[in-house]
């Protein structure tokens, strides 16, 4: 992981698995700068997979390679310099301002008790500007809306200068406008991205590739248009998917399920 800060990373998963049947072996290779959406029903293993990628959990078997290095064999500081995580739930009781939260992204690059350098301050200001947060810099984090807090956490990740950003349900609890806003901002960061999503109609225009999981098993991996078909959606989610245009789907329950409810 000797790449310059902010250089898009490559990601490879080699027969990665965890738990007693929670996540079965996953193998894939993601090119530098590409955006991967991880899809699946509740309990499919999405969050488990992401925790392995940002090194919250250690794999039961297999490897996570970032720029060719096994992240579980590297010092935590080196991994934090290359991988940033944005989680779906953010604390609201932090007694910190927005600028202070974003500045936390520079922690992996500091030594000992050294204060922020001129470069640190510049990167924090840049992240605030990039995420349109300059007017919020001195606001208490807990006073912000859900969409604003999510933008702050993305800004913190940007200030970290990672090569890979991992996002667990970044649009959870956001209205449609803020969902689109957050995804556009993430897409435009220019780094490699892995994000779990629950709304299939948000994938087009955001992701380059998709990984579809079902009950911990990988069903398919590849470019969005090639993988995200009505048949695969039916297998993964147990619904009937009807394509509407080139990038959206309508969903309904299978006839057998509808008849059960009627009976």
2 in any annotated domain? no
Q: How many CB atoms lie within 10 A of CB 65?
A: 17
**For the chain, how many structural domains are there in total?**
2
User: What Å distances lie between residue 131 and 105, 175, 177, CA to CA?
Assistant: 14, 18, 15
Do 113 and 146 belong together in one domain? yes
Residue 4 lies in a domain: no
What are the distances in angstroms from CA 137 to CA 97, 107, 162? 7, 18, 22
| Together in a domain, 129 and 59 | yes
Residues 191, 156: one domain? Answer: yes
Largest CA distance in the chain: 69
Q: Give the model's pLDDT for residue 263.
A: 45
Residue-wise pLDDT tens digits, 205-241: 899 999 999 999 999 999 999 999 999 999 999 999 9
CA dist 17 and 146 (Å) reads 32
Q: Tell me, what's the pLDDT at 260? A: 46
Domain range holding 206?
A: 11-228
Residue 42 lies in a domain: yes
Question: Of 62-71, 102-111, 140-149, 251-260, where does mean pLDDT reach its minimum?
Answer: 251-260
Give all strands of the β-sheet with 23-30 in edge-to-edge order.
23-30, 11-18, 61-66, 69-70
The predicted pLDDT at position 257 comes to: 54
| 138: its two tokens | 């001195």
**What average pLDDT does the segment 19-47 reach?**
95
On whether both 195 and 253 belong to a single domain, the answer is no
The pLDDT of residue 262 is above 50: no
User: 109-128: b or e for each residue (b if 16 or more CB lie within 10 Å)?
Assistant: beeeeeeeeeebeebbeebb
Asked whether the beta carbons of 246 and 71 are under 8 A apart, the reply is no
Question: What is the CATH classification number for the domain harbouring 142?
Answer: 3.40.50.300
Angle between helices 146-159 and 176-187 (to 10 degrees): 10
Residue 72 sits in the same domain as residue 193: yes
Q: Does 69 or 179 have the greater pLDDT score?
A: 69
pTM higher than 0.85, yes or no?
Answer: yes
102 and 125 in a single domain? The answer is yes
Tell me, yes or no, whether 6 lies in a domain: no
């Amino acid at each position: 992981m000797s790449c310059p800060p902010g250089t898009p990373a490559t990601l490879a998963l080699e027969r990665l698995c965890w738990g007693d049947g929670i996540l079965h072996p996953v193998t894939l290779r993601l090119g530098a700068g590409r955006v991967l959406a991880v899809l699946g029903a509740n309990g499919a293993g999405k969050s488990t997979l992401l925790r392995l990628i940002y090194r919250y959990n250690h794999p039961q078997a297999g490897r996570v390679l970032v720029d060719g290095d096994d992240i579980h064999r590297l010092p935590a500081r080196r991994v934090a310099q290359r991988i940033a995580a944005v989680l779906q739930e953010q604390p609201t009781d932090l007694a910190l301002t927005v600028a202070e939260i974003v500045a936390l992204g520079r922690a992996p690059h500091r030594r000992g008790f050294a204060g922020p350098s001129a470069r640190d301050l510049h990167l924090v200001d840049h992240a605030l500007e990039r995420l349109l947060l300059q007017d919020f810099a001195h606001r208490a984090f807990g006073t912000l809306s859900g969409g604003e807090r999510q933008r702050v956490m993305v800004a913190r990740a940007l200030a970290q200068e990672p090569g890979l950003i991992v996002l667990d349900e970044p649009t959870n609890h956001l209205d449609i406008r803020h969902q689109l806003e957050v995804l556009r901002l993430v897409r435009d960061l220019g780094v490699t991205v892995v994000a779990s999503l629950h709304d299939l109609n948000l994938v087009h225009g955001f992701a380059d590739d998709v990984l579809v999981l079902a009950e911990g098993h990988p069903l398919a991996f590849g470019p969005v248009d090639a993988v995200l078909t009505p048949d695969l959606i039916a297998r993964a989610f147990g619904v009937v998917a009807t394509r509407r245009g080139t990038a959206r789907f309508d969903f309904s329950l299978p006839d057998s399920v509808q008849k059960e409810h009627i009976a």
